[in-house]
Homo-oligomer: A and B are copies of this chain.
Amino acid sequence: MLGNPIRDRRAERREATRAEILDAAWEMVRSEGLAGLALRDLARKVGMQAPSLYSYFDSKHAIYDAMFAQGARAYLERESLIPTTGDALTDLRAGLRSFIGFCTEDPARYQLLFQRTIPGFEPTPETFAIAVAGLERLKDRLAGIGVTDPRSVDLLTAIGTGITDQQISNDPGGGRWSRLVDDAAEMFCNHMNATPNPPRRNRK
């Protein structure tokens, strides 16, 4: 396989420029906050005038959408890199650690993917599907460890986002909450073992 004899160089260049714009946009939201993304400044950053951006994206929301897709793909990839051993505690730890690491290493991305903070923005269905696939994979992984009760899944996601949230908003760049990851995994694991799968009512 030698590649197509005729490459669409124009499309390639266009794609490269789109990527460059998105990279610059990520830089901006990381330093200015998600809402602080201004097309003028973004254009300047890649050596253009603002209207030129419209050759590459239909609107500002289209840029957010493309960023969302990149973020969701990154999550999907990260999720599939999590090692599994079959031991519940070990795997829970690894999973939580991965999730919290992914979120705290780029708070702007976390905000874009997991919180609803941009006024009129919602990802397109195609883009959102990527995120759904990521959560699906998470659920599968949990099921492999024996976490099948939806309530337990919900509790675990709450723990993950809770640590993440506190870390980001009260100790940005630090590790005060991230460090609790192993404790949290252990706590959740014990809880799981104490309350077997089909959730019983009236347990005291």
Interface residues of A (CB under 8 A from B): 33, 35-36, 114-117, 119, 151, 154-155, 157-163, 165-166, 169, 176-177, 179-180, 183-184, 186-188, 190-191, 194-195
Contacts and interface: CB of A to CB of B under 8 A. Distances in A.
Contact of A117 (B117, B161, B187): B117
A165 B161 contact: yes
B36 A155 contact: no
B187 A158 contact: no
Contact of A119 (B33, B166, B176, B186): B33
Contacts of A190: 187, 190-191, 194
A155 B187 contact: yes
A195 B176 CA distance: 19
6 contacts: A33-B119, A154-B177, A155-B187, A158-B163, A187-B187, A190-B194
A169 B122 CA distance: 13
A160 B177 CA distance: 13
Contacts of A151: 179-180, 183
Nearest to A203: B186
Given A116-B169, A160-B162, A162-B163, 9 more contacts: A115-B165, A151-B180, A154-B176, A154-B177, A155-B180, A155-B183, A158-B165, A161-B162, A183-B191
A158 B158 CA distance: 9
A119 B36 CA distance: 8
A158 B115 CA distance: 16
A166 B176 contact: no
A176 B176 CA distance: 28
Contact of A169 (B115, B187, B195): B115
A183 B136 CA distance: 24
Contacts of A177: 154, 158
